[in-house]
Structure 1
Amino acid sequence: MTKITCDIVQDVLPLYYDEVCSQDTKKLVEAHLQSCKECQIELKNLSTIVPVQQSETKQNAQDKKMMMSLADSWKGFRKKAFLKGVGITALVALLLYGGYFGLYEWDIKPVKQDNIVITEIAQLADGRIAFHVDYLDDIDIYRVKYELHEDGNFYMIPLRTIIGKSSLPHFVVGEGYQDFNLPSRQIDRDGKIKALYYGSPENAQLIWKEGMELPKASEELKKQLKIN
C-alpha cells in the first residue's frame, strides 16, 4: 500500500469525514490513521466542529421553516464551507510560503559556535560519521549549508534567520542524532574531504579529520539512527 504523509492525509480528512472520498482514498487514510496519533486528533477535531456550527446556525435562524430545512441542507453546506476553507487556507499558505522565502534569502546567518554542542561522535561500519547536535539557545535552524574548501576542510554550517523564530516545525532542521556519509561525499565531491567541521569556517568544531580514529558506534547510537 502506498505510504502518504500527514500533510496529505490532513488535506483529505474533511472529505473522508463527510464520506465523499473514493474507496482508494478511504483505505489509504484509514491505514495511516491506525499508526498516526496526530492525524487521529485532527479527525477527532473535525467531529467537534459540526455540533458547534449546528448550534450557531440554529441561533441565527429566522423562522421555523429554516430550522426544519437545516438538516436536509447541512451536508451541502459543509461541502461549500470546506471548499471555501480550502481556498482561504491555500491563500494564507501562499502568503506564509512567500514570506518565509523572503526571509530565507535575505536574513540568513550562521549559528554562533557557543550555542552548539556536539557529542557522541562515532563511526558506523559503513564509514558514516554519526554525532549528536544540541542548540543551547533553543532557536530554530532553518537549513544546513555545506562547503568544501580547497584545503579539504568540509563545513556543515547551521543557518537561521536574523529574526530568530522558534516552534516552526515544518521549516526546522531538528536537533538530535545525525550522520554524515563520508564515503558517498568523497565520491560525489570534486575534491577529497580531509576534515569535517560543524559550524562556519571562522568558528567551527572539529568532528573528524584524516587519520583520526573514531570510536565505533554504540548500539544505543545505532538505535537512535534506526540502524539494524
Structure 2
Amino acid sequence: MSKLSCEIIKDILPLYYDGVCSEDSKRMVEEHLLDCDSCKMELEKLKNEIHILERDIIENRKDSNVLKNISTSWKRLRLKSFIKGGIISALLIGVIILGYVGLFEWEIISVDTDIVKIREKSEMGDGKIVYYAEIDDKYSLNTLKYDMDNEGNFYMTPLRPIIKREAQPPYGLEKGYDYIDIKVQEEFRGKEIKKIYYGTPEDKILIWEKGMELPKTSEEVEKSFGFE
C-alpha cells in the first residue's frame, strides 16, 4: 500500500477523530501518525479546537440559563411588586373608606344638652310619652341611642358623626316631635323604667319620671305619628 500524503490524512482526521471513518481508513491514519509529527500536531490542534468549541457551547448554555434565571426572577419580582402594590392600594382604599365612614357616617359624638330644648311634653292614652325636641345649632341629627342602667334610668342619647352636616328640611330628630313607648321598652329590657332622660348620664335633661302628671297628647300630634 502506497503511503498516503499528509493532505489526504488531514482531510480524514476529522472523521478519524469523530470515529466515523472505516476501519481501513482508521488503520491508515494511525500508521501515518506513527511517522508524521506534522499530522500529529494537526490532530492535537483539531482536538483543542473541538474542546474549545465544546467549552464555548457549555458556556453559552450556562449564559442562556443565567439569562433565563434572570428573566424568571424579574418576572417573579414584577409579580410580587404587582401583588404588593395591589395590597397597598387596597389598604389605602380601605383606610380612606374607613376614614370617610369614621368622619362622616360613624355617629359617636353626643350632643351637648346646653343647645337642646325639650318642650310640649305630654302623654298618650296608652302611656307613650311625647315631647318636642329642638337642637338650635343648625346641624342635622339622625340617631338616638337608647340605654338603661340598673336604677331604672332610661337615656335617649343624641349622636352625630365627627363631621356634622347642616340641617335641611324636612328635618330629622334635630327638630320635631318624638315619643318613647315605655311599655315596649320595659318588656324588651325586662326592667321597670323610673325616669326618662334626654342625653347621657353625665349631661342630661329630665323628660319624665314615674308619678309625673303630663297633659294629654293632642289628636293632631297623635295623628302626626300615624296613631288614631
TM-score by length of 2: 0.52
One-letter amino acid of the structure 2 residue matched with residue 101 of structure 1? V
Measure the CA separation in 2 of the matches of 1:180 and 1:106.
Answer: 24
Measure the CA separation in 1 of the matches of 2:162 and 2:219.
Answer: 38
Q: Name 1:198's counterpart in structure 2.
A: 198
One-letter amino acid of the structure 1 residue matched with residue 126 of structure 2? D
Kept after mapping to 2: 8 A contact 1:142/1:171 = no
Q: Name 2:217's counterpart in structure 1.
A: 217
Give 5+ residue unaligned stretches, structure 2: 1-95
**Offset of 1:160 from its aligned partner?**
0.9
Measure the CA separation in 1 of the matches of 2:144 and 2:135.
Answer: 13
Measure the CA separation in 2 of the matches of 1:185 and 1:100.
Answer: 33
- RMSD (Å), alpha carbons: 3.1
Structure 1 residues 163 and 187, CA gap change in structure 2 (3 angstroms): same
Deviation digits for residues 137-164 of structure 1 (CA, Å, limit 9, x no counterpart): 0111131111101111000000112222
Q: Name 1:130's counterpart in structure 2.
A: 130
> Secondary structure in 2 aligned to 1:212?
coil
Give the fraction of aligned pairs with identical amino acids, expressed as a percent.
38
One-letter amino acid of the structure 1 residue matched with residue 131 of structure 2? F
Deviation digits for residues 76-117 of structure 1 (CA, Å, limit 9, x no counterpart): xxxxxxxxxxxxxxxxxxxx9866533367662110101111
Measure the CA separation in 2 of the matches of 1:203 and 1:161.
Answer: 18
One-letter amino acid of the structure 2 residue matched with residue 143 of structure 1? T
**Offset of 1:180 from its aligned partner?**
0.6
Structure 1 residues 205 and 221, CA gap change in structure 2 (3 angstroms): same
Measure the CA separation in 2 of the matches of 1:179 and 1:108.
Answer: 22
Aligned length: 135
Deviation digits for residues 167-197 of structure 1 (CA, Å, limit 9, x no counterpart): 4789954521111111111111132211000
1:50-65 to 2 correspondences below 5 Å: none
Kept after mapping to 2: 8 A contact 1:121/1:207 = yes
Q: Name 1:147's counterpart in structure 2.
A: 147
Kept after mapping to 1: 8 A contact 2:118/2:131 = yes
Structure 1 residues 153 and 167, CA gap change in structure 2 (3 angstroms): same
Q: Name 1:110's counterpart in structure 2.
A: 110
One-letter amino acid of the structure 2 residue matched with residue 214 of structure 1? L
> Secondary structure in 1 aligned to 2:212?
coil
TM-score by length of 1: 0.52
Kept after mapping to 1: 8 A contact 2:104/2:164 = no
Q: Name 2:158's counterpart in structure 1.
A: 158
Q: Name 2:175's counterpart in structure 1.
A: 175
Structure 1 residues 203 and 99, CA gap change in structure 2 (3 angstroms): same
> Secondary structure in 2 aligned to 1:216?
coil
Give 5+ residue unaligned stretches, structure 1: 1-95
**Offset of 1:227 from its aligned partner?**
2.3
Measure the CA separation in 2 of the matches of 1:135 and 1:102.
Answer: 23
Measure the CA separation in 2 of the matches of 1:129 and 1:206.
Answer: 12
- Name which one, 1 or 2, has greater alpha-carbon Rg: 2
Structure 1 residues 172 and 218, CA gap change in structure 2 (3 angstroms): closer
One-letter amino acid of the structure 2 residue matched with residue 196 of structure 1? I
1:5-84 to 2 correspondences below 5 Å: none
